[in-house]
Structure 1
Amino acid sequence: MATRPIPAAETAHPEQQYLDLMQDIWKNGNERSDRTGVGTRSIFGATLRYDLSGGAMPLVTTKRVYWKTATRELLWFLTGSTNIRPLVLQGVKIWNEWPHARYVRDTGDDLSLEAFVARIADDPVFAEEWGDLGPVYGKQWVDWPTYEQTGNGNYRKGEGINQVAQTVDSLINNPGSRRHIIEGWNVAELDSMALPPCHKTYQFHVAGDRLNCILYQRSCDVALGLPFNLWSAALLAQMMAQQTGLAPGELVWMGGDVHLYLNHAHLVTEQVEREPRGHPTLEIKRKPDSIFGYAIEDFEVHGYDPHPPISAPVAV
C-alpha cells in the first residue's frame, strides 16, 4: 500500500516524527512474509527531517540507544574493515549473528553464539576465516573495486576508490556539485555480502555555509535499526561538516521498505506511549587531520536522559 511522509508539527519534539512513523506502520502497514521468516508490517516510502545545527542529534530518548556502539560501528566502516573481530574486541555485538549463522550452516558445528564470539576474540586465525562479512559497507565506502583491461583482453583488479575521501574533497573544492555521494549498493558484489547494505546511499548538499545530508535506506527495521541509523547518519554529517569547515545543516532520512517485525509488538506498544524528553547534543572534542582520524573518545553527548531500554529479538 502507498503511504505518505509523516511531518511533525513545528512545535512537536523532533522525535515525535519517529514515534508517529512507528505507530503508522503498526496500524496501517501491510502484513508480509520476509526472508527471516518472522514477518513484518511494512509501508513503502517515508521521510524524516532533523535540524543538526548547534550539535543537535536525532538520538531517540523514548528508549535508551547505545550511541557509543553505533559510533564504534561507524568508525569501523571508515577503516574499510569487513571482519567483526575489531568490533568484538570493543564489545560491539551488532554484527555477530550473521557470521555465526554462516559458521553453523557451513560446518554443522552447533557452537553457541557466545562461544563463537569468544573464539573470534581469542583466535585471530579463526576470526580471519569465520569473522568476515564479505565486502559490506566500509569496503564499498573506502575501497570500491575497479578493474582495468590488460593487453591480452583480460581484466585485473585496479586501485580501489575511496568514496568518502573523494566526497570530502569535492565538498571543499566543488561545493556546488550534485555528485557528493557515498554509495554502498555494489550490484556486482551483493551476493558476497553477509547482508546487502540497508543504509545504502548518502548524498551531501552545501547551502551557503551549511552542510545537509540525505540518507536513503532501501530497507529499515524501525524498532531496532532506525535509532542506530539516524544517529550514525547524523554523526557522519557532523564529522563531514567539521572536516569541510561547514556548519551542520539538515539530515533528511528517506526509507523504502519501512517495517516493524511482528515479534516486536511489545516494544511498539510500550514505546509509542512514552514521551520524548530532552534535546541531546553532540560535542566533537577535536578536529582530526582527516575524516578517518576520529576515535570514540572524540565524541561526547550532552543532555541525554532516555527512558529505559526495551529488549527485542533481532531477525537474522
Structure 2
Amino acid sequence: MQHPEHQYLDLLSQVLERGDERLDRTGVGTRSIFGAMVRFDLSQGEAPILTTKRVYWKTAVKEMLWFLTGGTNIQPLLRENVRIWTDWPLAAYRRETGEAVSQEAFEQRILEDDDFAARWGELGPVYGKQWRRWLGADGREHDQIGELVWTLRENPASRRMLFHGWNVGELGGMALPPCHMVYQYHVTSDGRLNCLLFQRSVDLLLGAAFNFVGATALQLMLAQQAGLQPGELIWVGGDVHLYLNHLEQARAQLLREPRPFPRMRLLRKPESIDDYRIEDFEVQDYAPHGAIKAEVAV
C-alpha cells in the first residue's frame, strides 16, 4: 500500500511539471494548479505530519488553539514562541512609520508593551474572530465552534455541521483573508468523525503541512468533546501553488522517501473545547527528514 504522504508529493510534482506560472499579489510569482484533494485516515491514531521534511507540529497546534480563543492579536502567539503571523503586522508597521525595525525588535516590543501590541499587533477580524464571534447583520455575534460542538453531540446526522471564515463584510479589515475557509463535518453511523476542509489558496511548500496538522488537532478535539472517534480528514485545495522562490526546495523534497507517519493523541479530556492546551497533545514516533528552509511571501 502506498504511503499516504505520496498524495502530497504528487501535488508537488504536478505543480512543478504543469503548473500555470503567473505573477501574484506578493510580487514573487507562483506556479499553480486549480483543484486538488488528499485524504488521510486518522482512525488508527496516525497523523499526517509530513516526514519528507521536519514539520514543527507544536507551532501548528498552538496556532489552532489560538484560533479557538477567538483572538486576533499576535501577542499571545509570541508568548508561545509562535512567529508565523508576525510578517503581516511588521510589514504594516514598517510601511506606515518608515522605521526599518528588525523582526526581533518588533516582536520584543509587542511582548513588552501592551499599548504597542494593541496598536501594531492586531491582525483585524481574522480566523478566530469569524469562528467564535461572527457578526451578523442584526448585530448579534455567532459562535460557530460552540454551535458545531453542540450539533455534533445532539444531532450528529445533520448535514449542516460546518464553520466558515469568509465573512465578506469584514474581508477588507483582515491582514490576510482566510485561506482555509470552510470546515465541514460528518459523523458515520458507527461514531466516526470525518472532516472536509476546503482551502481556497495554499502555499504548498510552507502552508499545507501546517494546515494538515492544525485540522488534525481540531478533529481530535472535536471528536473527544462529542464522544466520537476520529475518522477521515479530506483536504480540498482551490489555488494550489508553489512560489517561484520555492521551486528548488520542492525538488529537493521530492528526492526524499516518506517515513512512517507518527501518532498523535490527546492526554486528557478537558471540560470544553476552550480548555485545551499544547501540553494535552502528544506525538509519538516522529522521525522525519531534516527541515527545508524557505521564505514566506507576504
Q: TM-score range by the shorter chain?
A: over 0.9
Determine the structure 1 residue equivalent to 2:181: 200
**For the residues of structure 2 that align with 1:55 and 1:86, how far apart are their CA atoms?**
30
One-letter amino acid matched to 1:174 = N
One-letter amino acid matched to 1:162 = D
One-letter amino acid matched to 1:63 = K
One-letter amino acid matched to 1:303 = D
| Distance apart, 1:105 and its partner CA | 1.1
One-letter amino acid matched to 1:247 = Q
SS at match of 2:47: coil
SS at match of 1:292: helix
| Distance apart, 1:171 and its partner CA | 1.0
- Determine if contact 2:193/2:223 at 8 Å carries over to the other structure: yes
Q: Deviation per CA, 1:206-242: give whole Å up to 9, x if none.
A: 1121110000000000000000001111111111111
- Determine if contact 2:50/2:261 at 8 Å carries over to the other structure: no
Superposition RMSD in Å = 0.8
Q: So what's the TM-score if we normalise by structure 1?
A: 0.93
Q: Deviation per CA, 1:129-187: give whole Å up to 9, x if none.
A: 10000000000001111243xxxxxxxx33x1110010010111111111001100000
After superposition, where does 1:247-262 map in structure 2 within 5 Å? 247-262=229-244
**For the residues of structure 2 that align with 1:129 and 1:242, how far apart are their CA atoms?**
37
Match of 2:262 among 267, 280, 291: 280
Determine the structure 2 residue equivalent to 1:50: 40
Q: Deviation per CA, 1:225-268: give whole Å up to 9, x if none.
A: 00000111111111111111111110000000000011012211
- Determine if contact 2:52/2:289 at 8 Å carries over to the other structure: yes
Determine the structure 2 residue equivalent to 1:77: 67
| Distance apart, 1:118 and its partner CA | 1.1
Determine the structure 1 residue equivalent to 2:21: 31
**For the residues of structure 1 that align with 2:222 and 2:12, how far apart are their CA atoms?**
29
After superposition, where does 1:90-129 map in structure 2 within 5 Å? 90-129=80-119
Determine the structure 1 residue equivalent to 2:214: 232
SS at match of 2:274: coil
What is the aligned length? 297
**For the residues of structure 2 that align with 1:42 and 1:266, how far apart are their CA atoms?**
15
Runs of 4+ that moved beyond 6 A? none
SS at match of 2:236: strand
- Determine if contact 2:54/2:289 at 8 Å carries over to the other structure: yes
Q: So what's the TM-score if we normalise by structure 2?
A: 0.98
Structure 2 unaligned residues grouped into runs of 5+:
none
One-letter amino acid matched to 1:178 = R
- Determine if contact 2:47/2:264 at 8 Å carries over to the other structure: yes
- Determine if contact 2:63/2:77 at 8 Å carries over to the other structure: yes
SS at match of 1:288: coil
SS at match of 2:163: strand
Match of 2:204 among 222, 225, 229: 222
SS at match of 1:55: coil
Structure 1 unaligned residues grouped into runs of 5+:
1-10, 149-156
**For the residues of structure 1 that align with 2:286 and 2:58, how far apart are their CA atoms?**
13
| Distance apart, 1:112 and its partner CA | 1.6
One-letter amino acid matched to 1:234 = T
Determine the structure 2 residue equivalent to 1:20: 10
**For the residues of structure 1 that align with 2:157 and 2:282, how far apart are their CA atoms?**
32
**For the residues of structure 1 that align with 2:33 and 2:261, how far apart are their CA atoms?**
28
1:267 has 2:249 as partner? yes
Match of 1:164 among 134, 140, 145: 145
Identity of aligned residues (%): 57
One-letter amino acid matched to 1:194 = A
